[in-house]
Structure 1
Amino acid sequence: MNRKFLFALPAALIFNFSTSAEAQHSVARQWNEVMLEAIRHDFARPPIHARNLFHTALAMYDGWAAYDSVATTCLLGKTLGGFTSAFNGIAKPANVKASRNEAISYAMYRVLTHRFKNSPSAKQSQAQFDSLLNRLGYSPTNTSTNYATGSAAALGNYLGQQIIAFGLQDGANEANDYAYQHYKPINPPLITLFPGNPKLIDPNRWQPLTLEIFIDQAGNVIPGNTPKFVGPEWGRVTPFALTAAERTIYTRDGYDYWVYHDPGPMPYLDTLNTNSEQSEAYKWTYTLVPIWQSHLDPTDGVFWDISPASIGNVLELPQTLTGLRKFYNLFEGGDPGKGHAINPRTGQPYKPQIVPRGDYTRVLAEFWADGPNSETPPGHWFTILNYVSDHPAFQKRLNGQGPILDDLEWDVKAYLALGGAVHDAAIAAWGIKGWYDTIRPISVIRWMAGRGQSTDRNLPRYSPVGIPLIPGYIELVQTGDPLAGENGKNIGKIKLYTWRGHDYIKDPKTDVAGVGWVLAEKWWPYQRPTFVTPPFAGYVSGHSTYSRTAAEIMTLLTGDEFFPGGMGEFHAKKNEFLVFEDGPSVDVTLQWATYRDAADQCSLSRIWGGIHPPVDDIPGRLIGKKLGVNAFARAERFFTGRLTGVEAAPATAPSPETFSLRVYPNPIQSGQLLTAALNRPASNVVMQMYDLQGRLVQTQMSPTRAQQDFTLKTNALSSGIYLLRMSGTHWKLTQRVLLIK
C-alpha cells in the first residue's frame, strides 16, 4: 500500500525539501518544515510537540522582533512564567534582513538540537538540522552568545540558550523526559487481546492498555507494551495567554492539578444510582461510538455529498446534555451542519461530491488521526497554515488588513500566534484530562457488555450498569446465532453491529473488515492494532480543543473564515490512503469551506475512529473557541509593541503557601463525619457539597479563627458521588467524594 499525502495545491510539495523550495520560502518557514519532519519521526506526544512548536515559534519571533522598532519581544527582556531573560538590546545592523535570518537560524538550530537529541530518529533529524544550517551558509561551530558585539549569530545562540533554560523550569519536567511525578492510574491495564474487561475497578477513571506490541502514531515501537499516561500534570506548564483568573486548582493525593477553563465533570456512571440523568448520559455517549462505527462500510449502499454544499456550517454548539443528544445523529451519523449554498470567493455553488459514506468516514478517521504525516494534531495545523500561506490567492495581511507583509514577518507572526494557541490548548485539555482522568470507549464498551444489558429486567444478563440494548445495533446473542459459539457458550452475551475489527483483516493491502455482528467483549476502535487508543484520558478531546483553537487563530490571522479560494482540500487516492485495511474504494477528497468546518470535521472523526464519545468533543470545541481568540489578542500586543517592561505569564510555580486538601474517609458511609484536612490553617472557609447535576446540597461556614481540619455531617445525603468544594480568600479546592449507604 502506497500512502500519498497531497493537499490540493503545490504547498504540499514542500514536505520534501529541495533547494528550489527553500529559495521560495523564508528561513522561518524552512526551519518550521524541518521541525515538522523531526516531529513525524519522534514519539507521538501531542502536548510535548505543541510546546515545541510554541517555543520554536517564540525563538523565531524574538529573533525577528529584536531588530524591530515597533514590535516587542516575547521572551528576551521579559519575565515569562517566573523566568526572567535579560536582554540589553542589539545595535541596528546595516542589513537587518540578513541579521534576522542569521539570528533565527542559530536560535532554531540550538533549540531543535536540544529538543530532539533523545528522539528515536535523533541522527536523522540532526542531519537535517545540520544540512539546513550549512545550506543557509552558517557554521554550527560558531557558539558565541556575546550579542553585545552586534553579532546576529551570537544573538541567535543566546536566544536559543534562553529558550532551553526557560524550558527546563516551565513545569514540563523536560529534564526527566517529561515524566509525571504524582499521578497514579487507579485501574489495572486492559489486555486488549483478551476478551472483556473483567478487572476494571472504576468505570469513570482512565485505564491503561496492554498491547501485544505498541507502536505510536509516529511509527515508533514503545517497549513495555503498556504505555503510561502522557502529560497528566501538563496543566502546570507555563502557558502563552492563559491567565490565573481562568484557572481552578484541584487536589488529589496531596498534589495540586491546575485546570484552565474548567468544564466541570463529564457525566459519571453512578453505580449506586444507575437511572440518574448522569448515568443515562454516560451510557448514551459511549454506546454512540460503536453505533457510529457501523458507518464504516463502503458497501452498505449509503452515499453522502461530502462537499461544502452539504457538510459544515455548524451554527451553534450544544451546552446541555439534551442539546448534546440532538446535535449528533445517532443512527445516520453526522451533525446539524447545513453546508454552504455558495462559494463566496467564486460566487458559484459548491460542486457536489457523492461518495460512499463508509469511504468518507474511514478516510476522515485516518486523516485526522495522524495529520498528513503524523506530525500530531498541533503540527497538523501548522501544515494547514503553510498550505494557506502558499495559496496563490492569499495575501499576507495580518487579520486581512493593512499592508502585505514580507514572507519572514508573516511567518514569524503567524507561527507565534498559532504556536502559542496550540500550546495553550494542550495545557487546557491535558490539565482537564489529568484531573478528571476519564475512561476511553474501548474500556467502557467491553466493561458494560461484560456486566450485561441494562434495558429489560426480564431478559437474560440484566445489570443496572450494563449496556443499553438497541435493536439492530446492540442485542443479545440468541440460540442459533452465528456468534453463539461452541456448545452455545456465547448465548446471552452482548453483540454489536459495528466495524468488525482486525480479526477480519489478514492482508491490509487487500482486505476490508467491513461491518457486521461481533461480540462486544472483542470490540475494537477503528485504529491500528498496534495503537488502539491514545495513552491518556479522553475528556476533553485534544483533537477538538486543538482544532477549534487553531481554526479561530486561522480566521483571525487571515481576516477570513474561509480558506483561500473558498475551499481547502485533501486528496485520498483509491486503494492507497488507508493503512490497516484497503481503501478507500473510490477517490475521496476531503473539502472544507471554512477553518471551523475543518475543525468540526476533525472532531467528528474521533467518534468514527472509536477514540472519543460526544461528551469529550463539545467541551473541547467550546474551550478552543475562547483559547484561539485570547491567544491572538495576546500575540497582537507583541506585534504592535503594546507590551513593555516586565510582563509575567500566569503559570508560575506555586508558592509554599499554596493550599492542598485531603478528604477522609473516602468512600464514606452515610452518617459518618467527613473530614477535610488542609495542609495549613485557614479562616473563613466555606464548605459546599454539590451533586453531579451541579446542585448545591449542603453548605457549611467555618469559624473566623484559623484551623486546618474541618468536618461535615453526611446524615442528610443519599448515596452517590459528590463534589466537595472548599474556598477561602483567593483560593478554592475541590475533591470528589463517594458516599455509600
Structure 2
Amino acid sequence: MSGALAACGGGSAPDGVPVAQAPARTVAGWTEVALQAVRTVKPGPPMAARSFAIMYTCMYNTWCAYDAVAQPTPIGQGARRPPEERTAVSKAMAMSYAAHAALVDQYPTEKAAFDHHLRRLGYEPAPESAGPGTPAGLGMALSRAEIAYCHTDGANQLGNLDPMGVPYADYTGYVAKNPPMSVGAPTPRELIPAPGSWQPLTYTDAGGVLRTPAHLGAAWSRVRPFALASSDQYRPGPPAAFGSVEFVEQTRHIVEVQQSLTDEQKVIAEYWADGPSSELPPGHWLQFGLYVSERDRHTDDEDIKLFFALSHAMADAAIAAWDAKRAYDSARPITAVRYLMHGQTITGYGSLGPAGGLRRIRGETWVPYQSLAFPSPPFPEHVSGHSTFSAAAAEVLRSFTGSDAFGASYLKPAHSVTIEPGVPAQDVHLGWDTFSAAARQAGISRIYGGIHFESGNTAGLTLGTKVGARAFAKAQALWLGRA
C-alpha cells in the first residue's frame, strides 16, 4: 500500500526477565516487521494471510499464559503462569520470542531482520537461559508447538506433499483448461478453447523476466481453517456461465467501465491493487488494524486480541475464497473480453497498456487497467479475494470496536499513479467514514482495475462478512474464556 494513512487521533520481574519497562506496542511492532517481510518475500495472498495468523496465534497462546481467563488454542493448553508472573514486561518478552520464532519459520530468508528487531527490544535471538519457566522459553516452546501443528495443515509449506518438494506447490493435480495467453500479443480464439474458464497469462514482470504463473493456491481449499466448519461452508453460487446473456453483459460492462474511468477511480484501482512488492490484501487490512490501535490507544492486551481475530478472519477468508475459485475455475475479464470481442474495434488499453492511454484497439488485444508487469492475478476470478478479505476484516474491526466508524483517509498526490503517467491531474483524497465503506471500495476497485466482474465482487463481500463474523465469534469466545 503506497503512501500513508492519516490517523485521528511495572513491578518486580521473574527470573529471566530484565527489570525494565515493557516495550511499548509490542504487537504493533512485530506487525510492522511481518508486513515488511511480506513485501520483501512476495508470497501469494493466501500464504501471507496464513503466515500472519500463525504469528499472531503464537503470540496469542503465549499471551494467554499471562492472563487469568483467556483460553489459548488447543496447542497452547496447560501453559498458564502464576499470578505473580503476569506482568507487562513478561508478556511483552514472551510474545516477542513467540513472534520471532514464527516469523523465522515462515520467512527464513529474513531472519537477520527478525533478529535485529528482537535486539532493538533488548532481547537476544538465542538466549543462554531460556528454560520453560521463563518468558523467552515459554514463547519459543509454544511457537514450536504451533509451527509443528501448522506444518500439517494442508498448505504444503514445506513441500512435503509435492513430488518435487516445492513449498506451497499444488498437490491436487489441477490443470488449466486453456493454454497460456501471451498478454503482449493478439489472442486468436482458438487459443481460448474454454472461454468461461481461467487462463494462465504470459507476461514480462517488473524485473524483466518472462513469466507464466500457474494457479496460485490451487490446493488452498484443503488448508485447515480456524473457525469454518469446512472450506465450502459458505460457498456462494456460481458465476455467469459462458454462453449466457449474463456472461456477455458482464464482459461488456467491464469494457465500458474501463472506457470511462475518472481520475479518482484510477487512484482507487491503484491504491487497492496490493500486487507484488506490497503487503498484499491481508497486510493492507492489518495496516488498518494498526490505525485503529493507534486511534483507540490500545494496550498490548487489546492489540493481541484484535490482531488474533483479524488475522484468522482473513486466513479463513482465503480458504473460503480459494475454495470458490477452485470449484468454479472461472475466467478473468481479459480472457472473456479477448474472446467475445475478437475481431471488433473497441476503445480500451491495448498492447501498450494504460501507459499508452485509451485508444481504438482490436478486442483481442484488450488489457485491464493494471501494470503490464502484473496484468491479472494468477488464479480464477470468482470470487474476488479482495472483496472477501476486506469484508471479513471489516466485520472483525466493526465487531471489536463496537462501531463501524473508521475515519481514515489517504492522499494521492497529482501525477503519481504508476499505472498511467500524469494521473491524477490533481491531488486525490480517499476517505472512509466506515469500515464497511472501505471494504466496498476495495471490492469495486477490482472492477475499476478490470480484473473482476461485479458478481465476483458482491459474492466475495457477502462471503467475507459471514467468514469474519464466525472468526470473530470464535476468537472472542477464546479470550473471554468461554470457548
TM-score (norm 1): 0.60
- Checking the alignment, whether the CA contact within 8 Å between 1:260 and 1:432 is kept in structure 2 is no
**Deviation sequence 1:680-738 (CA, Å, 0-9, x none):** xxxxxxxxxxxxxxxxxxxxxxxxxxxxxxxxxxxxxxxxxxxxxxxxxxxxxxxxxxx
Partner in structure 1 of residue 278 of structure 2: 374
Counterparts of residues 422-461 of structure 1 (less than 5 Å): 422-450=314-342
**Deviation sequence 1:75-106 (CA, Å, 0-9, x none):** 4345xxxxxxxx45444454621111111111
Amino acid across the alignment from 1:521: E
Partner in structure 2 of residue 138 of structure 1: 123
Question: How has the CA–CA distance of structure 1 residues 283 and 143 changed in structure 2, closer, same or farther, with 3 Å as cutoff?
Answer: farther
Answering whether residue 263 of structure 2 is matched by residue 264 of structure 1, we say no
Partner in structure 2 of residue 254 of structure 1: none
Partner in structure 1 of residue 112 of structure 2: 127
More strand, by proportion: 1
Counterparts of residues 343-492 of structure 1 (less than 5 Å): 358-370=262-274, 374-391=278-295, 394=296, 396=298, 407-450=299-342
- Checking the alignment, whether the CA contact within 8 Å between 1:371 and 1:380 is kept in structure 2 is no
1:373 deviates by 6.9
Answering whether residue 137 of structure 2 is matched by residue 154 of structure 1, we say yes
Question: How has the CA–CA distance of structure 1 residues 577 and 75 changed in structure 2, closer, same or farther, with 3 Å as cutoff?
Answer: farther
Answering whether residue 422 of structure 2 is matched by residue 572 of structure 1, we say no
Answering whether residue 344 of structure 2 is matched by residue 494 of structure 1, we say yes
Question: How has the CA–CA distance of structure 1 residues 202 and 173 changed in structure 2, closer, same or farther, with 3 Å as cutoff?
Answer: same
- Checking the alignment, whether the CA contact within 8 Å between 1:143 and 1:154 is kept in structure 2 is no
1:194 deviates by 1.4
**Deviation sequence 1:359-398 (CA, Å, 0-9, x none):** 101100000002897100011001011112212xx365xx
Which has the higher relative contact order, 1 or 2, with Cα contacts under 8 A spaced 6 or more apart?
2
Question: How has the CA–CA distance of structure 1 residues 165 and 4 changed in structure 2, closer, same or farther, with 3 Å as cutoff?
Answer: closer
Among 368, 380, 400, the alignment partner of 1:537 is: 380
Partner in structure 2 of residue 335 of structure 1: none
Partner in structure 2 of residue 295 of structure 1: 260
Structure 2 residue matching 1:428: 3-state secondary structure:
helix
Amino acid across the alignment from 2:158: A
Partner in structure 2 of residue 178 of structure 1: 168
Answering whether residue 87 of structure 2 is matched by residue 96 of structure 1, we say yes
Answering whether residue 7 of structure 2 is matched by residue 9 of structure 1, we say yes
Question: How has the CA–CA distance of structure 1 residues 549 and 110 changed in structure 2, closer, same or farther, with 3 Å as cutoff?
Answer: same
**Deviation sequence 1:622-664 (CA, Å, 0-9, x none):** 1112111111111110111012xxxxxxxxxxxxxxxxxxxxx
Counterparts of residues 471-620 of structure 1 (less than 5 Å): 493-499=343-349, 502=352, 505=355, 513-563=356-406, 567-620=407-460
Partner in structure 1 of residue 13 of structure 2: none
Amino acid across the alignment from 2:30: W
Question: How has the CA–CA distance of structure 1 residues 597 and 10 changed in structure 2, closer, same or farther, with 3 Å as cutoff?
Answer: closer
**Deviation sequence 1:210-239 (CA, Å, 0-9, x none):** 11x234xxxxx5966100111111111111
1:151 deviates by 1.0
1:582 deviates by 2.7
Query: Could you tell me how far apart the structure 2 residues matched to 1:421 and 1:6 are?
Result: 24
Among 134, 142, 148, the alignment partner of 1:165 is: 148
Structure 1 residue matching 2:32: 3-state secondary structure:
helix
Amino acid across the alignment from 2:49: A
Partner in structure 1 of residue 194 of structure 2: 202
Answering whether residue 21 of structure 2 is matched by residue 31 of structure 1, we say no
Question: How has the CA–CA distance of structure 1 residues 4 and 43 changed in structure 2, closer, same or farther, with 3 Å as cutoff?
Answer: closer
Query: Could you tell me how far apart the structure 2 residues matched to 1:606 and 1:232 are?
Result: 21
Query: Could you tell me how far apart the structure 2 residues matched to 1:24 and 1:77 are?
Result: 24
Give 5+ residue unaligned stretches, structure 1. Answer: 12-21, 79-86, 216-220, 248-257, 271-278, 297-357, 397-406, 451-492, 506-512, 644-741
Amino acid across the alignment from 1:597: A
Amino acid across the alignment from 2:251: Y
Amino acid across the alignment from 1:135: R
Partner in structure 2 of residue 114 of structure 1: 105
Q: How many residues in Structure 1 have an aligned counterpart in Structure 2? A: 463
- Checking the alignment, whether the CA contact within 8 Å between 2:63 and 2:91 is kept in structure 1 is yes
Partner in structure 1 of residue 65 of structure 2: 66
Give 5+ residue unaligned stretches, structure 2. Answer: 10-20, 160-166
Question: How has the CA–CA distance of structure 1 residues 636 and 130 changed in structure 2, closer, same or farther, with 3 Å as cutoff?
Answer: same
Query: Could you tell me how far apart the structure 2 residues matched to 1:158 and 1:605 are?
Result: 42
Amino acid across the alignment from 1:269: F
- Checking the alignment, whether the CA contact within 8 Å between 2:354 and 2:370 is kept in structure 1 is no
Query: Could you tell me how far apart the structure 2 residues matched to 1:96 and 1:73 are?
Result: 18
- Checking the alignment, whether the CA contact within 8 Å between 1:569 and 1:589 is kept in structure 2 is yes
Query: Could you tell me how far apart the structure 2 residues matched to 1:53 and 1:127 are?
Result: 19
Amino acid across the alignment from 2:248: K
Structure 2 residue matching 1:181: 3-state secondary structure:
coil
Give the CA RMSD over aligned residues: 2.3
Query: Could you tell me how far apart the structure 2 residues matched to 1:611 and 1:291 are?
Result: 13
Structure 2 residue matching 1:568: 3-state secondary structure:
strand
Amino acid across the alignment from 2:5: F
Structure 2 residue matching 1:496: 3-state secondary structure:
strand
Query: Could you tell me how far apart the structure 2 residues matched to 1:60 and 1:603 are?
Result: 31
More helix, by proportion: 2
Identity across the alignment (%):
35
Partner in structure 2 of residue 40 of structure 1: 39
Structure 2 residue matching 1:261: 3-state secondary structure:
coil
Query: Could you tell me how far apart the structure 1 residues matched to 2:22 and 2:214 are?
Result: 43
- Checking the alignment, whether the CA contact within 8 Å between 2:22 and 2:92 is kept in structure 1 is no
- Checking the alignment, whether the CA contact within 8 Å between 2:59 and 2:98 is kept in structure 1 is yes
Query: Could you tell me how far apart the structure 2 residues matched to 1:203 and 1:368 are?
Result: 27
Answering whether residue 464 of structure 2 is matched by residue 624 of structure 1, we say yes
1:503 deviates by 5.4
Question: How has the CA–CA distance of structure 1 residues 143 and 555 changed in structure 2, closer, same or farther, with 3 Å as cutoff?
Answer: farther
- Checking the alignment, whether the CA contact within 8 Å between 1:261 and 1:428 is kept in structure 2 is yes
- Checking the alignment, whether the CA contact within 8 Å between 1:93 and 1:99 is kept in structure 2 is no
Amino acid across the alignment from 2:401: T
- Checking the alignment, whether the CA contact within 8 Å between 1:190 and 1:197 is kept in structure 2 is no
- Checking the alignment, whether the CA contact within 8 Å between 2:370 and 2:419 is kept in structure 1 is no
Amino acid across the alignment from 1:555: R
**Deviation sequence 1:521-540 (CA, Å, 0-9, x none):** 11111111111000001100
Query: Could you tell me how far apart the structure 2 residues matched to 1:144 and 1:51 are?
Result: 31
Amino acid across the alignment from 1:241: A
Answering whether residue 214 of structure 2 is matched by residue 228 of structure 1, we say yes
1:515 deviates by 2.7
1:579 deviates by 4.3
Query: Could you tell me how far apart the structure 2 residues matched to 1:574 and 1:126 are?
Result: 38
Partner in structure 2 of residue 726 of structure 1: none
- Checking the alignment, whether the CA contact within 8 Å between 2:61 and 2:76 is kept in structure 1 is no
Amino acid across the alignment from 2:69: V
Query: Could you tell me how far apart the structure 2 residues matched to 1:636 and 1:371 are?
Result: 31
Question: How has the CA–CA distance of structure 1 residues 180 and 432 changed in structure 2, closer, same or farther, with 3 Å as cutoff?
Answer: same
Structure 1 residue matching 2:411: 3-state secondary structure:
strand
- Checking the alignment, whether the CA contact within 8 Å between 2:2 and 2:271 is kept in structure 1 is no
Question: How has the CA–CA distance of structure 1 residues 6 and 373 changed in structure 2, closer, same or farther, with 3 Å as cutoff?
Answer: farther
Q: Report which stretch shifted further, 40-49 or 541-550.
A: 40-49
- Checking the alignment, whether the CA contact within 8 Å between 2:64 and 2:80 is kept in structure 1 is no
1:197 deviates by 4.0
Q: Which protein is bigger by CA-based radius of gyration?
A: 1
- Checking the alignment, whether the CA contact within 8 Å between 1:180 and 1:232 is kept in structure 2 is yes
Query: Could you tell me how far apart the structure 2 residues matched to 1:573 and 1:623 are?
Result: 34
Amino acid across the alignment from 1:188: P
